[in-house]
Amino acid sequence: MRVLIIFLLSISLVQAQKPNVILIYVDDLGYGDLGSYGSKTMKTPHMDRLSERGLRFKQAYSTSATCTPSRYSLLTGSYAVRRKDTGIATGDASALIRPGQQTIASIFSKAGYQSAAIGKWHLGLGPQGGPDWNGKITQGPLDIGFTEAFILPATGDRVPCVYVENDHVLGLQANDPIQVSYTNKIGNMPTGKDNPELLRMKHSHGHDQSIVNGVGRIGYMQGGTAALWKDEDIAQRLADRAKSFLRRNQKSPFFLYFATHDIHVPRLPHAKFLGKSGYGNRGDALLQLDDTVGQLMKTLDSLHLTQNTLVILTSDNGPVVDDGYMDQSKELLANHRPAANLKGGKYSSFEAGTRVPFIASWPAKIKKGTSDALLSQIDLIASMGALVGQSVDATQAKDSENQLATWTGQTKLGRSHVIEQAGSLAIRQGDWKYISPSKGPAFNAFVQIELGNNSLDQLYQLSQDPAEKVNVAKENPEKLHELKTLLRSIMEK
């Protein structure tokens, strides 16, 4: 009996020492949006405090300049560009990550963690043909390692505008089933195109299909009236779910994948934030985002979990100001620079498309400071596998490296290279960045962003030219050949 008691106590001690992990995955947050990254205009005290007590990385990258491929790569450790079906997913897309595929959640599950996916999903749900919105939704977060989920199926500007709790639409009434179409208009729900008088937020481009909560969306839907979300409440609903998860699992190790909707469009922050930033709805949504982060950190503090919790805050891609709605974000931008001194933004192969804030805070293990190490979100799964002592199947997570020592500040070496995906494929190695030739416009007139598409090879020396103004490919044929060859070898792997 005594031996059994000692054994059980030993197991309890090991369990207690396992670090908790929270990944705050922000939507469309720019390199220049936070005070800790140099902004003199936006007030982001909670995110800045996270930076002040943690490690702030100055050269960290998402894998893509748009949301779906970044999320796929982060969760699986495999570049989305290896597949042909990982563009920006529609709201009725089938699951991109299938049951049985290794994910960061399945790695934590093997280590005995409780794990939750809360917030924006945008990775598809269900089998080929899409999910059954009116029944059990299969092939979602619960089928790839998460123990619970409370998600927006896609984005706030795409139908269906409902929450999915675990594997069912929350609040759906049987006598009002949901129908969704991304090809043809269905039902009698008014649209932004036909009924502009019903809009309380006008669209600048696109977003003129089904109207939900006075806002035009992408795609058509019918039914599900009682289940429809109210945009102004999304941030707090997600925060409340996340705080509940933390409280319920305070005595067991947990992993929280918290994917905010802010600061993605449509930006309709709660009334207590509306008009408070002075920079339009985008600025107000940024204040709301900061408040959300503050709520999570306050909850951690109250549960006495801060010391042994690794909190990572980063973004799926770079910033965009006008992404389809007339919300005064462009007109009131004034002297705020969401991308700082970087070129491009969301959708772009230039630096602002994928170089994003990345903050790692873990008071028990990470010393506060800054790092110039080259970082990529592709390494989450291998690094977290190392953290919790679990092996990772490298044949699935073929692009992920164990960078835990870099993420925790034990070394500043970082990666030898990072891959950036937009209209073009780009690779950065050390001081150099190569952008491969591509078709398509060089400039997106709708969002007012330089995309980086060019029929010629592009090469930039970032220490001399951080804004990527001068293409030095002709002057550096050896470096050009080296990076082209490296990129090709990685993609052929």
Average pLDDT of the segment spanning 29-57: 97
Centroid of chain to Cα 188: 34
φ and ψ at 216, to 5 degrees? -70, 145
pLDDT exceeds cutoff 50 at 1: no
What span, in angstroms and rounded, lies between the C-alpha atoms of 84 and 70? 14
Q: What percent of the chain has pLDDT over 90?
A: 95
What phi, psi does 421 have (nearest 5°)? Answer: -115, 125
Domain 21-407 has CATH 3.90.1300.10: no
Using the predicted structure, report yes or no on whether residue 6 has a pLDDT greater than 80: no
Determine how many CB atoms are found less than 10 A away from the CB of residue 406.
23
Q: Which of 230, 280, 282, 290 is nearest to 260 (CA)?
A: 290
- Closest alpha carbon to 116 in 53, 176, 52, 165: 165
Query: In 3-state terms, what secondary structure has residue 203?
Result: strand
With a cut of 90, say whether residue 9 has pLDDT above it.
no
Domain residue spans of the chain: 21-407, 423-491
167: which 2 tokens?
A: 């594997």
In tens, the pLDDT along 244-303 reads: 999 999 999 999 999 999 999 999 999 999 999 999 999 999 999 999 999 999 999 999
Q: What is the mean pLDDT of residues 135-145?
A: 98
Cα–Cα dist 394/414, whole Å: 19
427-459 burial code (b ≥16 CB/10 A, e <16): bbbeebbbbbebeeeeebeebebbbbbbeebbb
- Please state whether the peptide bond connecting residue 218 to the residue before it is cis, i.e. omega within 30 degrees of 0: no
Q: What are phi and psi of 150, to 5 degrees?
A: -145, 100
Helices 380-387 and 67-76 pack at an angle, to 10 degrees, of 30
Neighbours of 325 (CB within 10 A): 25
Cis? peptide before 160, omega within 30° of 0: yes
Q: Which two tokens stand for residue 486?
A: 């490296």
User: In this model, does residue 13 exceed pLDDT 60?
Assistant: no
Is residue 85 predicted with pLDDT exceeding 90? no
Q: What is the mean pLDDT of the chain?
A: 95
How does pLDDT run across 175-201, given as a tens digit for each residue? Answer: 999 999 999 999 999 999 999 999 999
Q: Which residue has the tokens 């998402």?
A: 62
pLDDT in tens, 275-287: 999 999 999 999 9
Instruction: Please give the Cα distance from 318 to 62 (Å, whole number).
Output: 9
Q: Please state the pTM of the whole predicted model.
A: 0.96
Angle between helices 280-302 and 234-248 (to 10 degrees): 10
Residue 4 in this model has a pLDDT that exceeds 60: no
CA pair distance 278, 374, nearest whole angstrom: 34
Could you read off the pLDDT of 14-32 as tens digits, one per residue?
A: 344 799 999 999 999 999 9
Fold of 423-491: Arylsulfatase, C-terminal domain (3.30.1120)
What three-state secondary structure class fits 299? helix
